[in-house]
Amino acid sequence: MLQTAPTSSAVPPIQAGVEPMLAIRDLHAAYGQSEVLHGLDIAVAPGEIVAVMGRNGMGKTTLMKTLMGIVPVKSGSIRVDGVEVGGLKSHQRVARGLAYVPQGRMIFSAMTVQENIETGLTVTNERRVPGELYEMFPVLLEMKGRRGGNLSGGQQQQLAIARALASRPKVLLLDEPTEGIQPSIIREMGRTLKAIRDAGGLSIVVSEQVLSFALDVADRVLVIENGAIVHEAARAEIDEAQVARFLSV
Amino acid sequence: MLGDYSLTDLSSIFVMQGFAGLILFSVYTLMALGLAIIFGQMGVINMAHGEFMILGAYMTYLCSGFFQTHLPALFPAYFFVAMALAFLASGALGMLVEWALIRHLYKRPLDTLLATWGLSLILQQAYRTIFGPREVGVELPAWLIGSVQVTDTIEIPINGMFVMAVTLLITAGVALLMYRSRFGAQVRAVVQNRPMAGAVGIDTEKVDRLTFGLGCGIAGIAGSAFTMVGSTGPTSGQLYIVDTFLIVVFGGAASLLGTIASAFSISQTQSTLEFFLSGSTAKVITLLSVVGILMLRPQGLFTLKVRR
């Protein structure tokens, strides 16, 4: 059964009795006067992977940036594990449990791989990179003395994920992680994301244009169009053809 | 030009002028270090950098007077207190200026240039009002006066060696701080990508303020060292600001090593040429060669090779 959620609906359906890890209510965000997000309601359960799909310019990146505090919230609420973060600065949101892997990866290119991961330790007050991060991404251990900018795209993506995980987040946000990455590594990344979820029990929100990747990793798929959620389906009951229609240009 | 001197005279001249150049190099390096952090790392054009240096010089002057009248027993050691005070005073003023002025202008570099230019005029006038328009000198403790006789014709001044030792220490300290400490890594992350640094959990506003304060504080130490080689007046900072920017740009904006190499080459050229030609001709030749080299290598002497 497909449910096409109207934009005005209250909290989207998740399992009863489970407090959402990330709860977004009636979120509006704007660049200056031009409003881009028109009242989003999204709830993500602990340990759930949600894919936000949509064409270019529909508000996926703006949603991510608004959640991270890079684009200001105009109105509405963002709660992480019950704590309101909507008015906080980026670094305070990281301390409350949000972590971010941006589009284009945005690693610190002039710094070494190890230093890049260490920047993520700022809010945890740990001194050393946790061993399990290097176990998860062995290639980063091999390259830890190299400058981030000299890594390949796939390696940079792993670095950006490791840097985000270093802050021990409750919710991991990934903005188009498959962009510019070769297919074999995309499959590998899907496995990694599920492994991260299974190991740490954290919730993951991933924005995507690649339907196959979203179907591979996500428990639930949302479609965003013109700054509003227009379609929502759990993976088991998803209608690929209908989602694909939303994505076709 | 060279014909009037014998070979030994010439070599002595080169050694002593080389050493004078080394002292100039030390002061340049100290000044340029602060600017390399503020301009090279943060990208802020701070035209008031010379005035932060002069604040350090005035702190040293005050300290010297205070120790002479109240604590004559400790006078030989006052210079260390003076340098610490100079660092703190300039650093504190720097953090205040960052909070009040600079942080609003990170996205408008040209406005920063005007604003800090205005700040430099304000500070100059403040110095003139507080300390008077006349240049002041600092009384050096006895152990810093005099020189070491190396050979019959070569003399090396002690205060010069002291300035060099201070420079070496501060430079090593800054290098350690920037490349080996967590704070340094945070500074580099913030300057490379401010929004992203915030999104990995770094308090960018705090880092910006401390970085700017650090750069100004180092300028204060430079001013303190500067009192040993020159006298201090309200506008003395202006004389050095252009040279300092020249050094940072010539060295390659984001590289500490480049800053040091360029301070060395510029000060050595300057002081060796100054002995044989007039001061202004020496400056012209130095500037022309710098301009020539920058036309061939606009990115400066040293750059990082990474994919952006």
- Residue B262 and residue A165: Cα distance in Å, rounded? 41
CB B220 within 8 A of CB B91: yes
Is A99 a domain residue? yes
Domain limits at A85? 22-247
CATH number, residue A114: 3.40.50.300
Of B185, B201, B306, the CB nearest to A109: B306
Per residue in A216-228, pLDDT (tens digit) is 899 999 999 988 9
Asked, for residue A8, whether it belongs to a domain, the answer is no
**Total domain count, chain A:** 1
Q: Which amino acid is at A20?
A: P
CB-CB: which of B182, B201, B308 is closest to A109? B308
Report pLDDT digits (tens) over B82-110. 999 999 999 999 999 999 999 898 888 88
pLDDT at B38 over 70: yes
Q: Which residue has the tokens 């006078």?
A: B75
Q: Is residue A237 part of a domain?
A: yes
Mean pLDDT over all residues of chain A? 87
- Residue A3 domain flag: no
Q: Give the separation between CA B95 and CA B77, rounded to whole angstroms.
A: 28
Label residue B305 by pLDDT band (50, 70, 90).
Answer: low
Q: What is the mean pLDDT of residues B247-254?
A: 79
Look at B304 and A119 and tell me if their CB atoms are within 8 Å: no
DSSP string, B63-109: HHHHHHHH-GGGGGGHHHHHHHHHHHHHHHHHHHHHHHTGGGGTT-H
Residue B201 has its nearest CB partner, among A102, A123, A147, at A123
Mean pLDDT of chain B: 86
**What single-letter DSSP state applies at residue B266?**
H
- Is B241 a residue whose pLDDT tops 90? no
Could you tell me which of A41, B153, A70, A111 has the C-alpha nearest to residue A120? A111
Q: What are phi and psi of B28, to 5 degrees?
A: -55, -45
Q: Tell me the average pLDDT across B146-159.
A: 78
A75 to chain B, any CB pair closer than 8 A? The answer is no
Higher pLDDT, A243 or A145: A145
Q: Please give the helix or strand (H or E) that residue B267 lies within, else none.
A: helix B256-276
pLDDT per residue over B279-288, tens digit each? 788 888 888 8
Handedness of CA B275, B277, B283, B286 (dihedral sign): negative
Are B183 and B197 in contact by the 8 Å Cβ rule? The answer is no
What's the order of all strands across the beta sheet hosting A49-53? A98-101, A171-175, A203-208, A49-53, A220-225, A228-234
Indicate whether A85 belongs to any domain: yes
Indicate if the pLDDT at residue A18 is higher than 80. Answer: no
> Which ipTM value was assigned to this complex?
0.84
Note the pLDDT of residue B9: 79
- At residue A17, the pLDDT reads 58
pLDDT digits (tens, 9 = 90+) for A20-39: 899 999 999 998 888 999 99
pLDDT of residue A6: 45
At what angle are helices B49-70 and B236-251 packed, to 10 degrees?
Answer: 130
| pLDDT at A197 > cutoff 80 | yes
Task: Please report whether residue A5 resides in a domain.
Answer: no
What is the sign of the dihedral through the CA atoms of A208, A214, A217 and A220?
Answer: positive
Contacts of A70 in chain B (CB under 8 A): 195, 198-199
For residues B123 and B218, what is the distance between their CA atoms, to the nearest angstrom?
Answer: 18
User: Which pair of structure tokens corresponds to residue A144?
Assistant: 């830890």
Q: Would A13 be classed as within a structural domain? A: no
Neighbour count for residue A14 (Cβ, 10 Å): 17
Q: Is the pLDDT of residue B299 over 50?
A: yes
pLDDT score, position B306:
57
